[in-house]
Amino acid sequence: MRAVVRLCVLLVLLAVALPDLGAAPGPAPSLFPLVPGAAWTRKNEDGRESTSRVTGPKVVGTTRCTVVERKFVDERGRERVERTCYLVSAAEILVIETTNLRGELTVLKPPRALMKLPARAGQTWAWSPEDSAFDLKITSKWVGEESIKVPSGTFRAWKLQTVTAGEDFEVTVLTWYAPGVGAVRSERKGRRGDRQISGWSELISYKIP
């Protein structure tokens, strides 16, 4: 009887001491963390900085989404504020509402998938607005995972290629998303009419509560 008791105690101790090797792993860190209080500071090619922060939830129509507010100084020295509301699920991150070129909030119809999840090299998707006055198409593709170094650190990140094409312009943007951090670098290149477009921005500091 005592031997049985000692065996039971030993099994209990082993169960406590050893990890549960059969337990399912926890959720992977988000490529686009929208935690209240999260903030990112980025610098672009001309040295100007922008600050983005999660300001909280918002209801757009019947959809509850999360607002990210971005503050920056434009080429004319004016402070600008842009707001975008995102809906996050396990399968995708949708842009529900955003600031347009005139500085007005616009509800996207249909919502645009910023990224499909989980990230998978070669996966592509596309979006076009229903009510645009001209032809517009945004095509996105997960290129792959790679290491990238920016002022805020060195990260293993997923590279996303996004091509925006219209009547007289085409711009390709490459963005690197690091798990648990978000976008750490972006590069853009293209044309608008006869004008060439190029630039970059990179993460210099961040806070994820």
- Indicate the pTM of the whole model: 0.85
The pLDDT of residue 10 is 31
Closest C-alpha to 153, from 187, 201, 203, 207:
203
56-111 pLDDT, tens digit each: 999 999 999 999 999 999 888 889 999 999 999 999 999 999 998 788 999 999 99
Element (H, E) at 116: strand 105-116
CATH topology of domain 28-207: YmcC-like fold (2.40.360)
The domains of the chain are located at: 28-207
The pLDDT of residue 12 is: 30
Residues of the chain with pLDDT under 50: 1-26
At 101 the pLDDT is 77
Per the CB < 8 A criterion, the answer to whether 99 and 105 are in contact is yes
